[in-house]
């Protein structure tokens, strides 16, 4: 009681009638029309509804009116100080007027008697005009905060608070909840502060239970608004109404022995609190009714002034009272005296001042407390005010963001709690700023999505760190974009931002990250042990080199998981579930090679698709492919090494127009494919050896050029193990298609077995050299043997010294051999590989002149394309164009390459503003579908400009045995602990037979990673109804303690 008494003593005024001096200045506030009536006649409620009124005010009048109003505010104390004080380095209030302020949803709830009387009549034009004008005045004051006394020198007042109110009006008939006078008379120890929100809302001892019940029911129906409840003095109003209804006057004002505040509010609660936030407003109608009928009696000094004017003074003060109470709710529970501050205890129409700190606190409250529920999401736009982090700051409690978060240069924002962002919101990092999300949540607050993190870059360690179980979700753009939020060409001076993401989850993000460097650049980013659930892409990369993507799971990606144009990766230990391509390399010019190893590919269409080339090879090894159609698709001028993989799609490894680069496919297992290895058109550099085939139509299908002498290198036998196991009557071909003539090397032994091409195409000549090798013992992703010595010469260690030594040795050996010697051809192939490796090392070290000197004097088309790429890496577009214009192409492929690259140079120089014409796109598409090695560059550029992947359909997909073979396959069990799934394909049900797997889990997912069945294994035979499943491919997995024991791919055909 002592504390309450002190608050009342220092913060409250009691109601009293004060004489108003007669000197008045006129000012139009509410439009006014004086209704004619008989002298001495009182206005009744029906006459009042036609009243349009004006006020004649002066500073003296306003002071008198002030003392007819009460700013008594029994308050809850500062509250939330621990949360708010940690954010001192954040500018929540923007001193610049924003095009879109924050709108607070509010309700004016007028309590009435049971018969609907006791307040302004609902739906009456006069009532509507009063409320509309009150709301307008409230917003006018929020729009123009003034400092007429210069209390904040150096500031640029007037300021827009960037806050407004939306108000809806409601009426509730309940006499017991309307009449505070009657309720106060029932109490034995009444204080005029007893009907403030905290006391009414006291569940154990509410001071006004009848009103609490009404408030609880209304707040439950309208939980997303600050609700103003208007109550009246029933005794006072009945006293007045009795006189008016009897056409009598009153001898004296009502003897108010039960005083009350004019408004009382409640401070915001913590962010997740379910505490009801409401404001009590008292005597809005009663005081008006008294003055409009008996103004001269309540203010006898102004008996010469019309009652309507005196009543108007009351109405003029309501917007100030409402804003004052709202200020207590969204700012603090203190009064700030002086300077005509809105939160002072005196009343004045000039109360339009708030300090910058007060304005900042209001916005902070709306973001960091339960008042976030009251901000109107529908009114937020891209021009809603931003907040600015000016120094190192931690968000360790929930916060809602309505505009953008701007992290200033050199500042670090750390997020360990929840951040709820709006539809147009981004987190923008200025140069050298950092964002750390450490176990935090970045998600949508208003609408279904937000727009992600945008990075300017500049740090050498990292720009964004997301770790320790953090969750980023529901972004309409990339969760992290390294495209600087700057106009062109300014953005080209930045970029190459660094992301470190590990042990975190990305849900429904358009992509996890889009990397960009405006010239190829080393980048230390990594994404490790993360999960993405839903998105269009996962990781896209323009020009950033050596990005690590390891140990992640990409689920339900509708298009492509990893995409790059001239970027490079280490892609290791991931699990992919894409709708199109798990990995798409679309290099418009030659890039740095990537390593793709130890991954699980379950894409609905393609595992790895590569268009265009790299300087050194892409290495694809130790992966398990079980995609919908193509496991590895290498198209266009490509340089790759594919080994020790498991291929299970209809087409295992596909090579189209891959040119004369030294491409090797070896030590892979092809299991259940329609065709294991498919090579067509201009792919003369491809060789394959030591692969283990088990296919049902053809192990290899070759159409057009391939390597002229096909062995394991240095005149060793190919040692592929074909499906037929040496049986010429087998229905499966070993080497078929329509290949150009070439020599196939079998081992020199007297055994006819799987290593012999007994069903080879007539264009294949067989010779025998060297010793046999058991390919199936060394093939596949489970076993990788160390490379032999000769392979080390062909692929030396990736250092300058080792590569230069290999080149020197190979040059010497070549000089000692005759031009047509097959061993010389093998050495020449190795030399080409080694030189490209050295070229790439020079480029990585930015030794561009030394790189180009490696191919000086060589005029082959391949060397021209590689040299051109060095100018792109050097970011010397003028030199690149000059190089192209100095080439005199003699054949169509190189001429097309030049056309594509000239258009590409225009794109690179103009940046995001570049728009290809329709005719340019048509020309690109025409080149893209040509059957030569440089058509892939046109496909890559077309993808860069349109986002569309131009594909080629393999003629074999229309083969009669293609569908027949898919439908005829089954998955037999070979040992007790194997997994048998049948029939395959299946329709109405799926039968699963298992061995001994105690405490193991059975899981079935579609190719996008969506779970359709999960159960603990309790018996050896399981039947799963599948009538509700969609047609397509599914993955059956048995796992125990997070270790995968077996996997099978099955097809549902309806």
- Position 336 scores a pLDDT of 87
Range in 372-376, 429-433, 1014-1018 with the lowest mean pLDDT = 1014-1018
Contact assessment for residue 180 and residue 282, using Cβ atoms and an 8 Å cutoff: yes
Provide mean pLDDT across the span 66-87: 45
Residue with tokens 């007790």: 976
In whole angstroms, give the CA distance from residue 399 to residue 419. 5
Mean pLDDT (whole number) for 607-612: 94
pLDDT of residue 894: 95
**Is pLDDT at 392 greater than 50 in this prediction?**
yes
For 440-466, write each residue's pLDDT tens digit: 999 999 989 999 999 999 999 999 999
Characterise 177 by phi-psi region: left (phi > 0), alpha (psi -120 to 50), beta (else): alpha
Average pLDDT over residues 238-258: 93
- CA nearest 435: which of 460, 461, 466, 456? 466
Of 326-335, 529-538, 618-627, the one with minimum mean pLDDT is: 326-335
Q: Which segment, 333-342, 782-791, 996-1005, is predicted with the most confidence on average?
A: 333-342
Question: Looking at the predicted structure, is the pLDDT value of residue 512 above 50?
Answer: yes
pLDDT confidence of residue 540: 98
Q: What is the pLDDT of residues 521-556, one digit of tens each?
A: 999 999 999 999 999 999 999 999 999 999 999 999
- The pair phi, psi for residue 56, each rounded to 5°, is -115, 105
Statement: residue 1054 has pLDDT above 80: no
Q: Which of 972, 1038, 1035, 1039 is nearest to 1052 (CA)?
A: 1035
Per-residue pLDDT band at 762 (split at 50, 70, 90): very high
Who contacts 729 (Cβ-Cβ below 8 Å, separation ≥6)?
none
All residues at 6 or more sequence positions from 316 whose CB lies less than 8 Å from its CB, including other chains:
29, 30, 55, 57, 65, 137, 349
**pLDDT: which is higher, 625 or 751:** 625
Q: Where are the beta strands (DSSP E) in 942-1031?
A: 979-982, 989-994, 1001-1006, 1011-1016, 1021-1025
- Token pair 């407004």 is at which residue? 164
pLDDT at 50 over 50: no
Look at strands 90-91 and 163-173 and give their pairing. unpaired
* C-alpha neighbours within 13 Å on the C-beta side of residue 509: 29
| Least confident span in 814-818, 978-982, 986-990 | 978-982
In this prediction, residue 952 carries a pLDDT of 86
Q: CB of 72 within 8 A of CB of 136?
A: no
CB 166 within 8 A of CB 376: yes
**Per-residue pLDDT for 4 more than 70?**
no
Q: Which of 256-270, 331-345, 391-405, 658-672 has the highest mean pLDDT?
A: 391-405
Lowest mean pLDDT among 76-90, 667-681, 725-739, 944-958: 76-90
Residue-wise pLDDT tens digits, 902-920: 999 999 999 888 999 999 9
What share of the chain has pLDDT > 90, as a percent?
A: 69
The mean-pLDDT minimum among 16-25, 149-158, 926-935 falls in 16-25
pLDDT digits (tens, 9 = 90+) for 178-192: 999 999 999 999 988
At 308, is the pLDDT very low, low, confident or very high (cuts 50, 70, 90)? very high
**Using one digit for the tens of pLDDT, what is the confidence trace for 16-43?**
222 222 222 222 222 222 222 232 333 3
Query: In order of start, what are the domains of the chain with their CATH numbers?
Result: 2-80+97-363 (no CATH), 640-784 (no CATH), 789-946 (1.25.40), 970-1052 (2.60.40.3080)
**pLDDT class for 856, splitting at 50, 70, 90?**
confident
pLDDT of 45 above 60: no
Cβ-count burial 111-130 (b if 16+ within 10 Å, e if not):
bbbeeeebbbbeeeebbebb
What pLDDT score was predicted for residue 1015? 85
CA–CA dist 832, 736 (Å, integer):
29
Q: Tell me the average pLDDT across 358-379.
A: 96
Give the C-alpha distances (Å, rounded to integers) separating 440 from 324, 424, 473.
36, 20, 11
pLDDT at site 1007: 67
Token reading at 190 = 């009444």
Phi/psi for 411 (5° steps) reads -90, 155
Residue 923 burial (10 A CB sphere; 0-12, 13-18, 19+) = middle
CB atoms near residue 867 (< 10 Å): 21
pLDDT in tens, 467-479: 999 999 999 999 9
Location of structure tokens 């798409």: 584
615-622 average pLDDT score: 93
Q: Mean pLDDT for the chain? A: 86
Confidence of residue 176 (pLDDT cuts 50, 70, 90): very high
Q: Which tens digit of pLDDT belongs to each residue from 479-506? A: 999 999 999 999 999 999 999 999 999 9
Residue 324, pLDDT score: 94
Residue 1035, pLDDT score: 81
pLDDT bracket for residue 15 (50, 70, 90): very low
Give the pLDDT band of residue 969 (cuts 50, 70, 90): very low
The predicted pLDDT at position 347 comes to: 72
pLDDT confidence of residue 116? 97
Confidence grade of residue 996 (pLDDT, cut at 50, 70, 90): low
Q: Which DSSP string corresponds to 555-570?
A: EEEEEEEEEEES--EE
Average pLDDT rounded to a whole number, residues 115-128: 96
Express each pLDDT in 768-818 by its tens digit.
Answer: 999 999 999 999 987 554 444 344 677 788 899 999 999 999 999 889 888
pLDDT reported for residue 991:
82
């Amino acid at each position: 009681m002592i504390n309450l008494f002190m608050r009342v003593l220092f913060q409250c005024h009691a109601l009293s009638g004060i004489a108003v001096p007669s000197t008045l200045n006129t000012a139009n506030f509410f439009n006014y029309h004086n209704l004619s009536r008989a002298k001495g006649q009182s206005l009744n409620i029906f006459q009042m509804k036609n009243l349009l009124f004006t006020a004649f005010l002066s500073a003296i009048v306003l002071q008198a009116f002030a003392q007819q109003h009460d700013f008594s505010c029994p308050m809850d104390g500062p509250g939330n100080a621990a949360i708010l004080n940690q954010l001192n380095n954040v500018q929540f209030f923007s001193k610049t007027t924003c095009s879109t302020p924050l709108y607070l949803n509010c309700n004016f709830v007028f309590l009435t008697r049971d018969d609907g009387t006791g307040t302004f009549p609902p739906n009456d034009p006069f009532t509507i005009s009063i409320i509309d004008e009150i709301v307008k005045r409230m917003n006018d004051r929020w729009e123009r905060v003034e400092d007429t006394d210069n209390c904040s020198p150096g500031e640029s007042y007037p300021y827009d608070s960037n806050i407004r109110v939306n108000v809806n009006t409601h009426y509730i008939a309940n006499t017991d909840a309307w009449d505070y006078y009657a309720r106060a008379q029932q109490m034995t120890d009444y204080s005029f502060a007893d009907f403030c929100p905290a006391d009414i809302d006291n569940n154990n001892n509410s001071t006004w239970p009848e009103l609490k019940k009404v408030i609880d029911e209304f707040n439950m129906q309208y939980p997303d608004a600050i609700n103003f409840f208007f109550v009246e003095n029933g005794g006072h109003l009945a006293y007045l109404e009795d006189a008016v209804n009897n056409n009598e006057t009153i001898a004296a004002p009502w003897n108010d022995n039960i005083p009350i505040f004019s408004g009382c509010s409640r401070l915001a609660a913590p962010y997740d609190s379910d505490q009801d936030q409401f404001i009590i407003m008292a005597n809005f109608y009663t005081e008006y009714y008294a003055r409009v009928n008996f103004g001269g009696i309540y203010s006898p000094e102004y008996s010469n002034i019309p009652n309507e004017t005196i009543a108007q003074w009351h109405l003029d003060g309501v917007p100030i009272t409402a804003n004052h109470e709202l200020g207590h709710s969204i700012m603090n529970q203190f009064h700030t005296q002086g300077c005509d501050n809105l939160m002072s205890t005196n009343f004045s129409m000039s109360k339009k001042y708030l300090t910058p700190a007060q304005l900042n606190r209001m916005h902070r409250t709306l973001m960091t407390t339960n008042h976030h529920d009251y901000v109107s999401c529908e009114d937020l736009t891209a021009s809603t005010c931003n907040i600015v982090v000016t120094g190192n700051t931690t968000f360790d409690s929930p916060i809602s963001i309505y505009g953008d978060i701007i992290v200033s240069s050199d500042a670090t924002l750390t997020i360990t709690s929840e951040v709820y962002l709006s539809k147009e919101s981004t987190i923008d990092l200025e140069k050298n700023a950092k964002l750390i999300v450490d176990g935090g949540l970045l998600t949508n607050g208003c609408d279904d999505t937000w727009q992600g993190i945008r990075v300017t870059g500049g740090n050498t360690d990292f720009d964004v760190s997301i770790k320790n179980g953090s969750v980023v979700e529901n972004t309409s753009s990339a969760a992290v974009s390294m495209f600087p939020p700057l106009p062109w060409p300014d953005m080209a001076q930045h970029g190459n931002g660094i992301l470190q993401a590990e042990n975190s989850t990305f849900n429904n993000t358009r992509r996890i990250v889009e990397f960009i460097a405006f010239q190829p650049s080393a980048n230390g980013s990594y994404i490790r042990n993360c999960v993405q659930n839903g998105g269009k892409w996962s990781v896209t990369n323009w020009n950033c080199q050596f990005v690590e993507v390891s140990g992640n799971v990409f689920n339900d990606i509708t298009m492509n998981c990893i995409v790059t144009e001239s970027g490079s990766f280490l892609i290791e230990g991931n699990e992919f579930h894409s709708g199109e391509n798990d990995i798409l390399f679309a290099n418009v010019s030659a890039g740095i090679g990537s390593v793709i190893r130890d991954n699980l590919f379950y894409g609905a269409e393609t595992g790895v698709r590569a268009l265009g080339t790299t300087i050194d090879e892409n290495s694809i090894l130790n992966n398990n492919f079980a995609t919908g159609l193509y496991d590895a698709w290498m198209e266009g001028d490509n340089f790759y090494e594919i080994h020790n993989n498991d291929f299970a799609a209809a087409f295992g490894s596909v090579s189209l127009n891959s040119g004369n680069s030294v491409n090797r496919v070896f030590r892979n297992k092809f299991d259940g494919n329609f065709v294991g290895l498919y090579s067509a058109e201009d792919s003369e550099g491809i060789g394959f050896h030591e692969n283990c085939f088990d296919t049902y139509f053809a192990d290899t299908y070759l159409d057009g050029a391939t390597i002229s002498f096909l062995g394991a290198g240095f005149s060793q036998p190919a040692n592929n193990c074909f499906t037929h196991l040496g049986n010429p009557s087998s229905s499966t071909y070993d080497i078929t298609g329509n290949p150009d003539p070439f020599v196939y090397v079998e081992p020199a032994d007297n055994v006819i077995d799987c290593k012999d091409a007994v069903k080879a195409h007539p264009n294949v000549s067989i010779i025998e050299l060297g010793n046999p090798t058991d390919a199936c013992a060394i093939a596949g992703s489970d076993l990788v043997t160390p490379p032999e010595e000769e392979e080390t010469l062909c692929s030396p260690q990736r250092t300058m010294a080792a590569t230069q030594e290999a080149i020197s040795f190979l040059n010497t050996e070549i000089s000692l051999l005759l031009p047509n010697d097959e061993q010389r051809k093998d050495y020449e192939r190795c030399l080409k590989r080694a030189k490209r490796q050295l070229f790439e090392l020079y480029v990585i070290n930015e030794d561009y002149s030394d790189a180009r000197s490696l191919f000086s004097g060589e005029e082959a088309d391949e060397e021209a394309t590689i040299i051109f790429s060095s100018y792109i890496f050097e970011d010397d577009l003028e030199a690149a164009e000059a190089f192209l214009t100095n080439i005199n192409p003699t054949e169509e492929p190189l001429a097309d390459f030049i056309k594509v690259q000239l258009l590409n140079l225009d794109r690179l120089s103009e940046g995001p503003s570049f728009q290809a014409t329709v005719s340019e796109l048509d020309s690109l598409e025409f080149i893209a579908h040509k059957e030569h090695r440089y058509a892939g560059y046109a496909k890559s550029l077309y993808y860069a400009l349109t986002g569309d992947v131009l594909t080629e359909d393999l003629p074999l997909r229309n083969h009669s045995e293609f569908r027949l073979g898919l439908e005829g396959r089954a998955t037999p069990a070979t040992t007790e602990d194997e997994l048998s799934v049948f029939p395959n394909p299946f329709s109405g049900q799926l039968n699963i037979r298992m061995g001994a797997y105690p405490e193991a889990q059975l899981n079935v997912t579609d190719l996008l990673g969506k779970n359709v069945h999960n159960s603990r294994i309790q018996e050896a035979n399981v039947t799963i109804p599948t009538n509700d499943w969609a047609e397509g491919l599914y993955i059956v997995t048995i796992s125990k303690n997070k270790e995968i024991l077996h996997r099978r791919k099955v097809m549902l055909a309806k």
